[in-house]
A and B are shown apart, each in its own frame.
Chain A
Amino acid sequence: DGGITQSPKYLFRKEGQNVTLSCEQNLNHDAMYWYRQDPGQGLRLIYYSQIVNDFQKGDIAEGYSVSREKKESFPLTVTSAQKNPTAFYLCASTKGGTYYGYTFGSGTRLTVV
């Protein structure tokens, strides 16, 4: 079955280290997204990509970087510049254009100690 795979489900890192979260989809979707969730807040957009080799900053991109070298993969790197990296991270995808159905990963909970 097609879907989005986020791995790992739980991730622990030491402060000051960069960490890369994986997001892979086999849906042939053009658009992919990364969101962050903090306690008591709605999910907020970090980065998105509408097409391979292109991506745009979302509302809270500072301290994060992404790449989109392949259609099926959209990894997110949490850099040491991100002041509060501990959060839940969600990846999503959609066909793009005027299509409005999204598919969601199950998420990765990152804890920085």
Chain B
Amino acid sequence: KNEVEQSPQNLTAQEGEFITINCSYSVGISALHWLQQHPGGGIVSLFMLSSGKKKHGRLIATINIQEKHSSLHITASHPRDSAVYICAVVRLETSGSRLTFGEGTQLTVNP
């Protein structure tokens, strides 16, 4: 079983819909990152969370450390939101910090 699980793997929505992508993890973490990967591969960092909730434009990210779960929400989705969304957890180890990535959620928003 992967240490970081994302669901769903694939998600298709109509423009304007509210979207939720989930990330569950099985290890103790210090923080969690949400990344966006556009077609063609470029990575954009969306959020870093260690507790609570963050909002940027139409994107909202939440994390519940006790339940080992994070969600990424997109309000009023648009075709330009079509991308792969990746969560990555940060663990602090004696040798420094380490990132473990989920496999990503492919989001397609149709007009």
**In chain B, residues 1-50, which have Cβ atoms closer than 8 Å to a Cβ of chain A?**
2, 4, 30-31, 33, 35, 37, 40-45, 48, 50
In the bound complex, what is the Cα–Cα distance between A99 and B104 (angstroms)?
24
Interface string of A33-70 (1 = CB under 8 A from B): 10100001111110010100000100000000000000
CB distance from B39 to the nearest CB of A (A): 11
- Chain B interfacial residues counted at CB < 8 A: 29
Q: Are A31 and B102 in contact (CB under 8 A)?
A: no
Contact of B42 among A33, A35, A50, A106 (CB under 8 A): A106
Residues of B within 8 A of A100 (CB): 30-31, 48, 50, 90, 92, 97
Distance in Å from the Cβ of A84 to the closest Cβ of chain B?
Answer: 17
Residues on B with C-beta less than 8 A from A99 are 97
